[in-house]
A and B are shown apart, each in its own frame.
Chain A
Amino acid sequence: MEAFFDNIDRVIDGFSWTVRLTLFSALFSFLLGVLLTAMRVSPVALLRGVSTVYVETVRNSPLTLVLLFCGLGLNSALGLSLSGTVAWDVFWWAVIGLSAYTSCFVSESLRSGINTIPLGQAEAARALGLTFTQSLRLIIIPQALRTVIGPLGSVLIALIKNTTVASVAGLGVQEASRQMKLMFDQGIAPVLPTFVGFAIGFLVLTLPVGYLFGWLSKRMAVAR
């Protein structure tokens, strides 16, 4: 275990990238997910169609493919650069890929949340004369958000774990799992303690999120 703690700065560096990836991707995928959901239930048929096709396409592609597409396809083929330094350039491409992928799951959770809201709520909103945007913003989305806190927590946990895929070729963000692989390969720390150390690191990230969202979903549950 000593060799592992001698390299603790590398471990911390790895997890700092993991956390950064998670925070930015969570923010963007939430925003995009809400937008996709609003499109999915909107009165404009074309918006519904675009949203459905997007969600079904990206949700059914492997994340490795999505990130590889961002890394090799968009980054290299399009030649778009998002930041001056390579480390941040690949970071932002990874955030884009992870957000594009995760937003589909956010959207699916939100849609299932909307489906649990009793019909009377939307009918009452319409009867009061609220427009589509108003009834969505004031009545439907607040209640849907509260019922999907639990599922959204699962999506966030999945996102934390999915950030490891950002180490894929073409991106190669120096996040925790890549640091672990490098430490294995360079033989600077024994394998078993290194694995256990990184596993604990991930459990420290994922378990509290699980408990927090479980507690929140109980606390915020809509009483019916």
Chain B
Amino acid sequence: MSTQQVLFDAPGPKARIRHAVYTALTVVAFLCVLAVVYLGFNRTLGEGAPSPLSADAWRINPDGQWAAARWQPFLDPATWTDYVLPGLQNTLTAALTASCLALLFGLVFGIARLSDHAWIRIPAGAVVEFFRGIPLLMLIFFTMALPLAVNQLLPAFGLPPLTPGTFQVSALAAVVTGLTLYNGSVLAEVFRAGINAVPKGQAEAAYSLGMNKSKVMRLILIPQAVSSMMPAIVAQLVILLKDSALGYIVAFPELLRSFSLIGTRYGNVIPAAIICAAIYIAINISLSRLAIWLERRNARSGAQRGAAPPTAALTAPGNPGAPGSPA
């Protein structure tokens, strides 16, 4: 339902005045918020500061966050090559590795949960529910502490403790493991839902053609499930990319950590936060756009595959002989 046109009529003269008043109020409220933020970061707000009504408060304070000196570091190529790009590279490395592993994990466990054998289905379900139910950060902490855990457990089996340095978990490995297990479990549910959503007749037809279970899964169900679930999969990968910022907490030198280092080095926390957010938002919005585009393309090809009887194709003036229309 497109509520926009239905929830209200085309405004009459009275409503137009009211809307103008609302718009004005919004502008005022918005400007007030902006003013507080501007003055706050300009360090000219609160006690001991000049009155907000005086011009002094609004002049850019050299000690504040808006001073040109605070933004200067971002014009220096060294900032980008020393901090931002390595950070971005680490973020993308972690996110890409974890994406591939999570897709694999999800596919395996999603299919395992649909298995006919209870001894596969139930443990797979338990694993998926466990990793979906606990916070990602705990998984990362636990992976980091794994060498410690192994050392504590070895004596119980009568084994000598590990020599220091033989088994270490890097922050990257911990982040990738956590992201894989958590997002993999979510993707397992996505795949399972997708496979369940394929019309029953598809599998029945495949069985009646003499395919065995693995062929039906591989040739019939998974391709259709993946294409219908593509938007959900991409959305989950956006979440994965965003969650890679949790690496900050375990001192993994990713994008957010780079900007935090810039912030402490040049004392420009706010400019750093703004630019950092802009980079994340740009990456995520382009990924989301990809998801929307895939969804649209999917809906279009689905419509062409499904409905549209031949007569309709003849009478439809727009697309004679559109690809995929039934011949």
Contact = CB atoms under 8 A, between A and B. Distances in A.
Nearest to A66: B277
B273 interface: yes
Nearest to B29: A50
A115 interface: yes
B249 interface: yes
Contact of B280 (A65, A74, A126, A195): A65
A118 B7 CA distance: 12
Given A62-B243, A62-B245, A122-B1, A69 B280 contact: no
A60 B285 contact: yes
Given A73-B273, A161-B135, A161-B136, A47 B26 contact: yes
Contacts of A132: 7-8
Q: Is the interface of B mostly helix, strand, loop or mixed?
A: helix
A202 B133 contact: yes
B281 A60 contact: yes
A190 interface: yes
Interface residues of A, number: 63
A110 to B, nearest CB: 11
B203 interface: no
Contacts of B65: 77
A202 B269 contact: no
B149 interface: yes
A21 to B, nearest CB: 12
A128 interface: no
B130 A184 contact: no
A78 interface: yes
A191 B137 contact: no
A41 B130 contact: no
Interface string B225-259: 00000000000001000111110110000001000
Contacts of A114: 1, 3
A191 B8 contact: no
Interface of A: 41, 43-47, 50, 56-57, 60-65, 68-69, 72-74, 76-80, 114-119, 121-123, 126, 132, 135-136, 140, 157, 161-165, 167-169, 177, 180-181, 184, 187, 190-192, 195, 198-199, 202-203, 206-207
Interface of B: 1-4, 6-9, 11, 15, 19, 22-23, 26-27, 30, 40-41, 45-46, 65, 129-130, 133-138, 141-142, 145-146, 148-149, 152-153, 238, 242-246, 248-249, 256, 260, 263, 269-270, 273, 276-277, 280-281, 284-285, 288
Given A60-B284, A198-B138, 5 more contacts: A44-B19, A61-B242, A119-B1, A132-B7, A199-B138
8 contacts: A43-B7, A60-B285, A65-B256, A73-B273, A157-B133, A164-B136, A180-B138, A206-B134
